[in-house]
Amino acid sequence: MNSYEIILNNPSYLEIAEKIGNFKFITDGKWDWEHGLEHYKRVAHYMKRILEQLNATEKQMELGMIAALLHDIGLIESGKDKIDHGLKSSQMFQRFLDGIDITEEEIKILEEAIKDHSNGNHITSLIGAALVLADKLDVIYHRTIHSSIQDEMNLEVRKIKKVDVVITEKELTVLYETTEPLNFSILRGWEKTFTIPEKIASYFGKEYVLKVNGKQMDWRS
């Protein structure tokens, strides 16, 4: 059983992930997004896509999948309060590493990546950069479909049915598949969904490209 499966078979982890999944995270009274197990699994999917394209080692892939599953676990303590959940998660994640062969250096990499995953202001590793990006790629209807508040932001996000990322030598391209044209004046209400991929592209020395249904877009316009 690999590290990813070990965590997904940890009853304590699953219990906490379920509780977090049932929270309603209302941000400034606007919307509440899913933060439970399915979000963690999707972030893990994006981590794998990102790290494969950046020629990560097998160990880096393993650490990336662990980080994806544990990056929001601190929400069980911070809940709706305005507490830094990245910091909380970085202080809690080690309790779910039982049975995983991991070094102190690798634990430090995970700690720094999880702590910084919301904004990417202190990226110190490939894992950290990939986690910041993977988390922000999960801007898709799954996260808002069960929201208790269906405001214009949630309704706009619900148009996004699939997100992918393609990384080449020169570009980092985020691809959205949508049911209808997107209203970027609304989506800019959560700018990090665009500014974070742009930041990570710059970190890797690449140009950021956004495509919606195959057409290149300027989210600022």
Which residues touch 198 (CB under 8 Å, ≥6 apart)?
A: 208
What DSSP line would sit under 152-213, residue for residue?
HHHHHHTTEEEEEEEE-SSEEEEEEEESS---HHHHGGGTHHHHHHHHHHHHTT-EEEEEET
Identify the three-state secondary structure at position 78. helix
- β-pairing, 207-212 with 171-178? parallel
* Arch. (CATH architecture) of 3-217: Orthogonal Bundle (1.10)
Domain residue spans of the chain: 3-217
pLDDT tens digits, one per residue of 74-115: 988 865 555 688 889 999 999 999 999 999 999 999 999 999
| Stretch 197-214: mean pLDDT | 97
Q: Which two tokens stand for residue 160?
A: 């996004």
Ranking 1-5, 7-11, 166-170 by mean pLDDT, the lowest is 1-5
Ranking 133-147, 153-167, 203-217 by mean pLDDT, the lowest is 133-147
Interaxial angle between packed helices 37-53 and 11-21, expressed in degrees from 0 to 180 and rounded to the nearest 10: 110
What DSSP line would sit under 43-68, residue for residue?
HHHHHHHHHHHTT--HHHHHHHHHHH
